[in-house]
Amino acid sequence: MSKGKDAKPHIGIFGRRNYGKSSLINTLANQDIAIVSNIAGTTTDPVRKSMEIAELGPVILVDTAGIDDDSVLGTERIKRSLQQISQIDLAILVIVNYLFASYEEDLVELFRKQEVPYLIVQNKTDLFPIDKDKANALSARLQVPIIHFSCNHPQNVSMLHQELNKLMPRNALHFTSIIGDLIKKDDVVLLVTPIDSEAPVGRMILPQVQLIRDVLDNHAVVVTLRETELEAYLKVMHPKPVLVITDSQAFEFVNSIVPPEIPLTGFSVVLARQKGEFEAYLKGTPKLAELKDGDRVLTLESCTHHVSCDDIGQIKIPKWIDKFTGKKLVYEMVSGLEQIKRPITEYAIVIQCGGCVITQKQVKNRLRPAIEAGVPVTNYGLAIAFLHGIFERATAPFKSKDL
């Protein structure tokens, strides 16, 4: 499971085998959630546990395999462990007896590259004597705190909690309102939510739920209906909505019904703005019109799900792009937070999903290689709006706020 399945702040635990990483997680969680053994390499795939930490609140602790794993599957285990760095908000680097060599230096370099704050836990102090001079020298060189710790005598748990709270990025702790700057108290927001084969039986999809809660949190009024009831309801609705938000797949139909004086956008568009890289999307989306025969189009789907005939990323968007461009294109999709197999420069454009189940940090890290390489990026909602000729209308509500 990736962080995308849970948007709480993630804290990754890294270090060599048998350094007590799993024991540290169990101590922090105050329960046995990670397997502890004297056998090196007990932890293989990353293990996650949701828990509460004083002052931080709910977080996810991620236990990783040892970075010195030289077993047959060690290379793959280390690869999976290192992949977690782009998905976490804060790291704990566990060391023993002040050993800090190439394994640790490489990790620190990756933390810095991915802009992940970290601290060092000098573990097993019940077995190895504390050397404050070594600790101070290492802390001064790396400019990070070092906590002396023993899982057998965990007197320093509160100190570790305090340091984690100091280092945790504030944007990882606080939810940013999706449309709070666009609405005010008592405004009416109309959500148009089609129900198709992609919709889960008996419940709403996550973006719809998130928008309902966001409107309510801003003390405004939310009205939700299907597109089949939209036209009749608009005729009698009073007061008129200050904003209409619909599923991207219904853009064309809803656009034909909602009067031009009422702002209209999509769930995927507002989430794109909340999660970051919105300006890159605005710049990259029109590049869809410049695609040529043989170009590769990469779609990034943040969650994994069963593919149906109505699948937006694998079926509908490629069909719409083909119709719009008239070109013969090659489509590839990467689901979850798996690694992209090809060099990013081999793609003509990258299309990110709405990102409802991942964090701003993950979206930025996911798109960073493309943006740095000059590869255009867009997202589902903006791409669909552009392909149906309503890009300007779908983005108009935000341009005065952001640009």
Over residues 370-398, the mean pLDDT reads: 94
| Domain identity same for 315 and 369 | yes
| Residue 340, helix vs strand vs coil | coil
Q: Please answer whether residues 66 and 16 qualify as being in contact, where contact means their C-beta atoms are separated by less than 8 angstroms.
A: yes
Among 118-127, 240-249, 265-274, 377-386, the minimum mean pLDDT is found in 265-274
Answer yes or no: is 297 within a domain. yes
| Domain identity same for 167 and 30 | yes
Confidence of residue 41 (pLDDT cuts 50, 70, 90): very low
Q: Residue 49: pLDDT above 50?
A: yes
Alpha-helix residue ranges (DSSP H) falling in 84-194: 102-113, 132-142, 157-167, 170-173
Q: Which helix (H) or strand (E) holds 378?
A: strand 377-379
Q: Residue 71: pLDDT above 80?
A: no
Q: Please answer whether residues 352 and 363 qualify as being in contact, where contact means their C-beta atoms are separated by less than 8 angstroms.
A: yes
| Domain identity same for 68 and 169 | yes
The total of structural domains in the chain comes to: 3
Q: Residue 175: pLDDT above 80?
A: no
| Domain identity same for 164 and 56 | yes
Over residues 178-194, the mean pLDDT reads: 95
Over residues 14-30, the mean pLDDT reads: 87
Terminal Cα-to-Cα distance of the chain (whole angstroms): 36
| DSSP codes, 220-250 | -EEEEE-GGGHHHHHHH-SSPPSEEEE-GGG
The percentage of residues in the chain with a pLDDT greater than 90, rounded to a whole number, is: 55
| Domain identity same for 139 and 9 | yes
Q: What is the pLDDT of residue 5?
A: 42
| Domain identity same for 205 and 134 | no
Q: Residue 43: pLDDT above 70?
A: no
Answer yes or no: is 365 within a domain. yes
| Residue 364, helix vs strand vs coil | helix
Last residue in a domain, options 230, 254, 270: 270
| Domain identity same for 149 and 202 | no
Over residues 205-232, the mean pLDDT reads: 94
* Closest residue by Cα to residue 196 from 204, 188, 207: 204
CATH number, domain of 261, equals 3.40.50.11420
Q: Please answer whether residues 94 and 20 qualify as being in contact, where contact means their C-beta atoms are separated by less than 8 angstroms.
A: yes
Answer yes or no: is 287 within a domain. yes
Q: What is the pLDDT of residue 221?
A: 97
Answer yes or no: is 196 within a domain. yes
Higher pLDDT, 136 or 336: 136
Answer yes or no: is 401 within a domain. no
| Domain identity same for 266 and 380 | no
**C-alpha dihedral, 365 to 370 to 373 to 377, nearest 10°:** -130
Q: Which of 49-53, 119-123, 175-179 has the highest mean pLDDT?
A: 119-123
Higher pLDDT, 240 or 357: 240
Higher pLDDT, 104 or 22: 104
- 124-160, pLDDT tens digit by residue? 999 999 999 999 999 999 999 999 999 888 778 888 9
> Domain span at residue 374?
276-387
In sequence order, which residues have a C-beta less than 8 Å from that of residue 215 and are 6 or more positions away?
179, 183, 189, 221, 222
Over residues 181-203, the mean pLDDT reads: 84
